[in-house]
Amino acid sequence: MDNKKRVRIRRLGWAGVEIECAGETLLIDYVLDISPLAVIHNPEEHFPASSQPSAASVALLTHLHSDHADAKALSVALRKDAPVFRPTAARGNDADMVLTTHTEMELKKYGLKTEIIGEWEERKIGPFRIFSAPAVDGFGDPQLSWIIECGGLRIFHAGDTLYHGLWWKIFHRFGPINIAFLPINAPVVDFPPLRPMSSIEAVMNPEQAAVAANILRADFVVPMHYGTMHQPPVYVETPNAVERLGISLTNLDPGIMIKEPGDWFELLK
């Protein structure tokens, strides 16, 4: 295969993804340290480092929660002056911004070259065409999904969005999708800043992820955002998420690719 079109993809920890194309690397929701969430973090979870320190061309953040944005890790992984594309800042009082304040401070501390991206925008960095799409955060913080085109592939990354009614619009603009990284852990959360607590799941569940993938006409779903932070009663993940996703996809078109943190894979066109 022509190396200029070869695309290698690696699932990183939690919702992290690394994409390599034409000798350049793109990172999405790359984290190494989620100690700000120590109360719910499983210390046995593996968070692989980027494969080429100081060389990544661009980083994308779906949102600014500490389990999706690690400024220190990005400062080591990115080449000098590489951009970090991010959604707009949270607005409101201190309680409204409690889940994003730490990351906002860290992005400034490490001097990263951030750019706020709105919905339906496009950027071009090296071999990567990057598009933003709407997403809905379970706690009301600004969030984006990302579509990356490179080497003839279209890759979708949904952060930890809720299920929403914009999947058809995303498909009409960007579909069909070759690989969809979708969250599946559907946690019920009891955080002190978010009380009275809600019994409604804060992220898509496996059945919803299957429906979203089918609307996007994805060739394959890679499940992510599961198995790391099941810490009752603070953070209660839905049970048997991967198994349920596979069952839900049985009579639909998308296939499932289960990748452990650190796994590289290719999808040949």
- At 269, the pLDDT band (50, 70, 90 cuts) reads low
Mean of the pLDDT values across residues 88-109?
Answer: 96
In one-letter notation, the amino acid at residue 9 is I
pLDDT at 5 over 90: no
Residue 2 lies in a domain: no
Residue 27 lies in a domain: yes
Q: Which of 243, 169, 239 is nearest to 210 (CA)?
A: 243
Mean pLDDT of the chain: 95
Helix orientation angle between 206-215 and 241-248, rounded to the nearest 10 degrees: 40
Q: What percent of the chain has pLDDT over 90?
A: 88
pLDDT of residue 34: 81
Distance CA(134)–CA(150), nearest Å, equals 21
Residue 205 lies in a domain: yes
pLDDT tens, 40-86?
767 667 789 999 999 999 999 999 999 999 999 999 999 999 999 99
Domain total in the chain:
1
pLDDT at 197 over 80: yes
Mean of the pLDDT values across residues 225-247?
Answer: 94
Residue 82 lies in a domain: yes
Q: Are 241 and 186 in contact (CB under 8 A)?
A: yes
pLDDT of residue 2: 62
- Write the DSSP assignment of 185-224 as a string of letters: ---EE--TTS-S---S-SS--HHHHHHHHHHTT-SEEEEE
Residue 238 lies in a domain: yes
pLDDT of residue 4: 63
Distance CA(66)–CA(166), nearest Å, equals 26
- Range(s) of the domain holding residue 25: 7-266
Distance CA(212)–CA(64), nearest Å, equals 23
pLDDT of residue 229: 85
pLDDT of residue 36: 75
Residue 187 lies in a domain: yes
- At 216, the pLDDT band (50, 70, 90 cuts) reads very high
CATH classification at residue 188: 3.60.15.10
Residue 14 lies in a domain: yes
Structure tokens belonging to residue 133: 């799409």
Residue 165 lies in a domain: yes
Mean of the pLDDT values across residues 102-114?
Answer: 97
